[in-house]
């Protein structure tokens, strides 16, 4: 726990109702990676719940360094705190070796008007239950589809794919999914490696035909789908190049 | 907080991910009401998340008494505790005066296989966001509909309605909604006041034609819908009779 962090109480709404917001930030020798983007999303998530983010949070954590660390920022209506840990070996392995990815309909037609799907809240039990279900099916992670078979996001990650010379991700504005910080940063820098970038929709039926598929998230960076719904896929030469672009060193 | 309760930590998964389960129990001068049924549901919810409920929880709270109290039981993977407060005046007013109820499509087609909808988890932000949305529309509470317009449940309550001499509620088994402890108890005792009981489905279009509509939950007991989607409804003579049957004294 970071010094200066808040006290916990048994009546905190973050604990009692999952009413709070969080961010997970990769920590490097140079400090927390993409901290401003994560703090901006934290503020947007908090606004969706009507919660204030304490002003001192950035100063509290901006000096933290780690060889390969995970910074977690938590804000609830009554407290805020940060924790730092080493990135777990399971996540480092997903960067290196890729993942077995399966797809499944999330069962949603359209988001109701009160939906918090675009906010990163502490009410994360369903996300983690979805990942556990994927593991029980013999996979590592899950890609949610809408009722038309269009790809949305993973329970804890964004979808990124390569189609020819274009790096693509799903449009958060059109779908109500959580805007991915890592995915947005990657697409913004695609020209540095000679690729275009575009927000698109893609169906599960079209996905096997693309050149590479990744789940993008703060700690993994990119985890390449080496199987999709049980079908093996060759490792893309772009995976190490893009991880390098994102500043993830080989491990 | 009840003596003997667990410690909180900043890495508790109940706080970090809303991974935990809870029950709210009405406390009376004779003790916690329907405690066994709530503990049974707590155990089923915990099983859905793969969490153990500590064996001493029933003994810890069974002796608690209150004139009109709210006992909250919380179990996470690393801690468990209970809190007791007076039932808020807003909830007492809903028993007495009824509520303005509106309906809205919850946006679900079918529950995905990992769904925790039948478990009462701490990931409650979406439920509370739905209630806040209803309040922003000028209502007090919300009734969720499936994509065929069939009534499901409220964000924090079960639907109960009177159709002639039959007290009805929505079938949890067919819909995946949370089985309501108060609604089940009420229907089990309906013969004592000369009514039948039945689990049924009903559409939002059919609801205005029934004899009475209530949201049933532990602390409110029954809150009668005095308006439904803006249309006024006469107070049912059954509301005080059924509240009396459930042991809620007039306030």
**What is the pLDDT averaged over residues A80-100?**
95
- DSSP helix, strand, coil percent of chain A (3-state; round to 5): 30, 30, 40
- Asked if pLDDT for residue A135 goes beyond 80, the answer is yes
- Give the position of tokens 């020798």: A29
Instruction: Tell me how far apart the alpha carbons of residues A13 and B149 are, in angstroms, rounded to a whole number.
Output: 32
DSSP string for residues in B181-246: HHHHHHHHTGGGGT-EEEEE--BTTTGGGSSEEEEEETTTEEEEEEEETTEE-PPPTHHHHHHHHT
Check residue B153 and report its DSSP letter: -
CB–CB contact A115 B107 (8 Å): yes
Give the mean model confidence (pLDDT) for residues B79-104. Answer: 96
- Residue B15: the pLDDT is 85
Report the residue of chain B nearest A50, measured CA to CA: B129
Which residue from A22, A106, A126 is facing B116, i.e. has the nearest CB?
A126
- Closest by Cβ to A18, choosing from B114, B123, B133: B123
When scoring A2, A7, A10 by the number of chain B Cβ atoms within 10 A, the one with the most, hence best to mutate, is: A10
Instruction: Write the pLDDT tens digit of every residue in A191-209.
Output: 999 999 999 999 999 999 9
CATH number among 3.30.420.240, 3.30.1490.190, 3.30.470.10, 3.40.630.30, domain B13-87? 3.30.470.10
| Spatial contact of A152 and A175, defined as CB atoms under 8 Å apart | yes
- Please give the angle made by the CA atoms of A236, A237 and A243, to the nearest 5 degrees: 95
What pLDDT sits at residue B36? Answer: 96
Average pLDDT, chain A: 94
Q: Do B112 and A112 touch (CB under 8 A)?
A: no
Substitution target from B1, B5, B14, B17 for chain A, most A beta carbons within 10 A: B17
- Do B15 and A49 lie within an 8 Å CB cutoff? no
A155 vs B176 pLDDT, higher one: A155
Residue carrying the six token digits 């540095």: A192
- For testing the chain B interface, which of A3, A6, A16 should be mutated: the one with the most B CBs within 10 Å? A16
Beta-bridge partner residues of A143: A103
Q: Is the dihedral of CA A28, A33, A36, A42 positive or negative?
A: negative
ipTM of this predicted complex? 0.89
CB contact (8 A) between residue A8 and residue B18: no
Q: What are the pLDDT digits (tens) for B195-226?
A: 999 999 999 999 999 999 999 999 999 999 99
Cβ B126–A105 below 8 Å, yes or no?
no
Residues of A in contact with B19 (CB under 8 A): 124-125, 128
Are B186 and B216 in contact by the 8 Å Cβ rule? The answer is yes
Under an 8 A CB cutoff, do A112 and B121 touch? no
CB atoms within 10 A of CB B47: 13
- The band of A2, judged by pLDDT with boundaries at 50, 70 and 90, is low
Q: How far apart are CA B89 and CA B149, in angstroms?
A: 33
Of B111, B114, B126, the CB nearest to A123: B126
Question: What pLDDT, on a 0 to 100 scale, did the predictor assign at position A131?
Answer: 96
Angle in degrees, 0-180, between the axes of helices A35-49 and A181-188, rounded to the nearest 10: 140
Asked whether the predicted pLDDT for residue A4 surpasses 80, the reply is no
> What integer pLDDT is reported at residue B108 of this predicted model?
76
Of the candidates A1, A4, A134, the residue with the CA atom closest to the CA atom of residue B15:
A1
Mind spelling out the 3-state secondary structure of chain A?
A: CCCCCCCCCCCCHHHHHCCCEEEEEEEECCEECCHHHHHHHHHHHHHHHCCCCCCCHHHHHCCCCCCCEEEEEEECCCCEEEEEEECCHHHHHHHHHCEEEEEEECCECCCCCCCCCCCCECCCHHHHHHHHHHHHCCCCEEEEECCCCEECCECCEEEEEEECCEEEEECHHHHCCCCCHHHHHHHHCHHHHCCEEEEECCECCCHHHCCEEEEEECCCEEEEEEEECCEECCCCCHHHHHHHHCCCCCC
Q: Which range among B70-84, B117-131, B207-221 has the greatest average pLDDT?
A: B207-221
Write the residue in A8, A111, A125 that is nearest to B116 by C-beta.
A125
pLDDT at site B1: 58
Residue B245 C-alpha from the chain's centroid: 18
Q: If you measure CA to CA, which chain A residue comes closest to B81?
A: A10
Are B144 and B133 contacting, i.e. CB atoms less than 8 angstroms apart? no
CB contact under 8 A, B10 and A81: yes
pLDDT in tens, A152-183: 999 999 999 999 999 999 999 888 899 999 99
- pLDDT greater than 90 at residue A222: yes
* Span of A18-27, A50-59, B82-91 with lowest mean pLDDT: A50-59
**Which of B147, B148, B133 is closest to B102 using CA atoms?**
B133
Residue B5 has a pLDDT of: 61
Dist. CA B126–CA B144, nearest whole Å: 12
Mean of pLDDT values over A57-69: 94
Chain B residue with Cα closest to A76 = B15
Rounded (10°) angle between helices B35-49 and B181-188 = 140
Q: Residue A161's beta-bridge partner residues?
A: A168, A213
CA distance A172 to B191: 53
Which residue do the tokens 């009462």 mark? B120
A155 neighbors A131 (Cβ within 8 angstroms) = yes
Fold of B90-245: D-amino Acid Aminotransferase; Chain A, domain 2 (3.20.10)
Are the C-beta atoms of residues A227 and A233 closer than 8 Å to each other?
Answer: yes
Minimal CA separation from B79 to chain A, in Å:
11
Report the residue of chain A nearest B144, measured CA to CA.
A112
Answer whether B113 sits within 8 Å of A133, measured CB to CB. Answer: yes
From the CA of B69, how many Å to the nearest CA of chain A?
A: 16
Distance from CA of B34 to the nearest CA of A (A): 21
Separation in Å, CA of B105 to nearest CA in chain A = 7
Please report, for chain B, the start and end positions of each structural domain, with discontinuous segments joined by +.
Answer: 13-87, 90-245
* Cβ separation A122–B16 shorter than 8 A: yes
Rg (CA), chain B: 18
Beta bridge partners of B28: B31
Check A17 against B49: CB less than 8 A apart. Answer: no
Average pLDDT, chain B: 94
Count residue pairs from A and B with Cβ separation < 8 A: 147
Check CB contact under 8 Å for B124 and A18: yes
């Amino acid at each position: 726990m970071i010094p200066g962090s808040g006290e916990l109480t048994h009546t905190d709404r973050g604990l009692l109702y999952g009413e709070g917001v969080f961010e997970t930030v990769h920590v490097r020798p140079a400090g927390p990676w993409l901290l401003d983007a994560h703090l901006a999303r934290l503020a947007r998530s908090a606004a969706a719940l009507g919660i204030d983010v304490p002003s001192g949070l950035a100063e509290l954590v901006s000096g933290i360094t780690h060889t390969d660390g995970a910074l977690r920022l938590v804000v609830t209506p009554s407290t805020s705190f940060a924790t730092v840990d080493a990135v777990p070996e399971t996540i480092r392995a997903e960067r290196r070796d890729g993942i077995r990815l399966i797809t499944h309909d999330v069962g949603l037609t359209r988001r109701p008007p009160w939906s918090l799907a675009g906010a990163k809240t502490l009410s994360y039990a369903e996300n983690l239950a979805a990942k556990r279900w994927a593991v029980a099916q013999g996979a590592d992670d899950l890609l949610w589809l809408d009722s038309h078979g269009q790809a949305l996001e993973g329970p804890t990650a964004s979808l990124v794919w390569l189609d020819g010379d274009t790096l693509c991700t799903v449009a958060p504005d059109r779908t109500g999914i959580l805007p991915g910080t890592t995915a947005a940063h990657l697409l913004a820098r695609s020209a540095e490696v000679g690729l275009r970038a575009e927000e698109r929709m893609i169906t599960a039926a079209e996905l096997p035909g693309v050149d590479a598929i990744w789940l993008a998230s703060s700690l993994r960076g990119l985890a390449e789908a080496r199987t999709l719904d049980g079908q093996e896929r060759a490792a893309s030469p772009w995976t190490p190049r893009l991880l390098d672009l994102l500043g993830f060193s080989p491990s």
